[in-house]
Amino acid sequence: MRVLVTEDDDNLRVALDGALRGAGFAVDVAPDLPAADEALFVNAYDCAVFDRMLPAGDALHYVRGKRAEGWPVPVLFLTARDSLADRIDGLRLGDDYLVKPFAMAELVARVRGLCRRTTAGRPAVLRCADVELDGGNHQVRRAGVLLTLTRKEFLVLERMMTSPGTPLSRPELIDHAWDEAADPASNVLDVVIGRLRRKLGDPQLIHTVRGAGYLIGE
């Protein structure tokens, strides 16, 4: 799951980035609204976290404009403004509202809950041949045998299993499992694909499609 964090305080931005990465999220950070707008234009996110008061203005107004355009991504607002009116405004235009100071564990839990809304329309269990991927419990089985996958392996396999039989490009797979700092030209994806093939065993289900990427299927 990929999250955008927009926060102008350097120390808090680093702390948020570290807490969410430590919880297994792919994270992009922005120090202001122009940088956030650019990130949202380029990338797809499961959740966005905005500090309300930013150098370019109140993020509430920015989100109001995005909502008017039909932007559906769940939003968590962070703010020191804790009046009832502020909380109501935040919940009316966003999806959650967290008053500073807050515990990082609570923020991670709230972000995880918002990300579930994005993935709620997907099947609870994805299947391809004799492989089952349970997104809710983060479990993968082949022929009924539970496999132990890393976070990146799980995310790459999950993306492929949402489109079985369809070649997925390297940038598309990297975008799902890594943040924008990942280099599509590096071998990080190849390493994960190699480990997945070994863990899934024979007969092989992950295939390389020359010039197109990778697909999963019999």
pLDDT band for 181, please (50, 70, 90 cuts): low
Residue 163 has a pLDDT of 82
Instruction: Kindly state the greatest CA–CA separation across the chain.
Output: 60
User: Is the pLDDT at 150 greater than 70, yes or no?
Assistant: yes
User: Is the pLDDT at 7 greater than 90, yes or no?
Assistant: yes
Three-state SS string over 132-160 comes to EEECCCCEEEECCEEECCCHHHHHHHHHH
* CA dist., res. 61 & res. 58, Å (int): 6
pLDDT band for 218, please (50, 70, 90 cuts): confident
Total structural domains within the chain: 2
Q: Say if residue 17 is in the same domain as residue 57.
A: yes
pLDDT band for 92, please (50, 70, 90 cuts): low
* CA dist., res. 76 & res. 52, Å (int): 10
User: Is the pLDDT at 172 greater than 90, yes or no?
Assistant: no
User: Is the pLDDT at 180 greater than 60, yes or no?
Assistant: no
What CATH number corresponds to the domain at position 108? 3.40.50.2300
The pTM of this model reads 0.59
Q: Is 58 helix (H, G, I), strand (E, B) or coil?
A: strand
What CATH number corresponds to the domain at position 181? 1.10.10.10
Residue 94 has a pLDDT of 63
Q: Say if residue 142 is in the same domain as residue 183.
A: yes
Q: Say if residue 8 is in the same domain as residue 107.
A: yes
* CA dist., res. 34 & res. 28, Å (int): 14
